[in-house]
Amino acid sequence: MNKLYVIGIGPGEYEQMTLKAIHAMEKSEVIIGYTVYVDLVKEHFPGKEFMTTPMKKEVDRCVMAFEEAKKGKVVSMICSGDAGVYGMSGLMYEVGVNYPEVELEIIPGVTAATGGAALLGAPLIHDFCLISLSDLLTPWEKIEARLLAAAQADFVVCLYNPSSKKRSDYLQKACDLMMQYKSPETVCGIVSYIGRDGEHYEVMDLKTLRDTKVDMFTTVWVGNSQTKEINGKMVTPRGYRNV
The answer on pLDDT for 242 being more than 80 is no
CA proximity to 122, closest of 12, 227, 15, 17: 227
Q: How many domains does the chain have?
A: 2
Burial code (b: 16+ CB inside 10 Å, e: under 16) for 129-154 equals: ebbbbbbeeeeeeebeebbeebbeeb
Q: How far apart are CA 17 and CA 110, in angstroms?
A: 7
- Range of 18's domain? 2-107
Per-residue pLDDT at 11: 87
Beta strands 75-79; 156-160: pairing state: unpaired
Split at pLDDT 50, 70, 90, the class of 228 is: very high
Instruction: Answer whether residue 242 is part of any domain.
Output: no
Whether 62 and 153 share a structural domain: no
Mean pLDDT across the chain: 95
Whether 89 and 135 share a structural domain: no
Contacting residues for 26 by C-beta, under 8 A, at least 6 apart: 45
Per-residue pLDDT at 243: 67
Per-residue pLDDT at 241: 80
Whether 53 and 126 share a structural domain: no
Last residue of a domain, one of 107, 132, 162: 107
Instruction: Answer whether residue 23 is part of any domain.
Output: yes
Per-residue pLDDT at 77: 97
Last residue of a domain, one of 91, 107, 123: 107
Give percent above pLDDT 70 in the chain.
Answer: 99
CATH of the domain at 91: 3.40.1010.10
CA Rg value for the chain: 19
Whether 124 and 178 share a structural domain: yes
Whether 121 and 9 share a structural domain: no
Residue pLDDT, tens place only, 128-151: 999 999 998 899 999 999 999 999
Contacting residues for 131 by C-beta, under 8 A, at least 6 apart: 143, 146, 147, 150, 157, 158, 159, 160
The answer on pLDDT for 37 being more than 70 is yes
Whether 167 and 67 share a structural domain: no
CATH of the domain at 188: 3.30.950.10
Instruction: Answer whether residue 223 is part of any domain.
Output: yes
DSSP 44: G
Contacting residues for 229 by C-beta, under 8 A, at least 6 apart: 187, 203, 235
Instruction: Answer whether residue 243 is part of any domain.
Output: no
Which 3 state secondary structure label does DSSP give 6? strand
Whether 89 and 125 share a structural domain: no
Q: How far apart are CA 26 and CA 70, in angstroms?
A: 19
Residues constituting the chain = 243
Instruction: Answer whether residue 225 is part of any domain.
Output: yes
Whether 153 and 85 share a structural domain: no
Whether 212 and 228 share a structural domain: yes
Q: What is the pTM of this model?
A: 0.93
Residue pLDDT, tens place only, 56-87: 899 999 999 999 999 999 999 999 999 999 99
Whether 133 and 170 have beta carbons less than 8 Å apart is answered as: yes
Instruction: Answer whether residue 55 is part of any domain.
Output: yes
Whether 131 and 146 have beta carbons less than 8 Å apart is answered as: yes
- Region 215-229: mean pLDDT is 96
Split at pLDDT 50, 70, 90, the class of 164 is: confident
Positions of E strands within the chain: 2-8, 30-34, 49-53, 75-79, 102-107, 121-122, 128-132, 156-160, 187-192, 200-205, 218-222, 228-230, 233-235
CB burial of residue 208 (10 Å; 0-12, 13-18, 19+): middle
Which 3 state secondary structure label does DSSP give 147? helix
Last residue of a domain, one of 107, 125, 160: 107
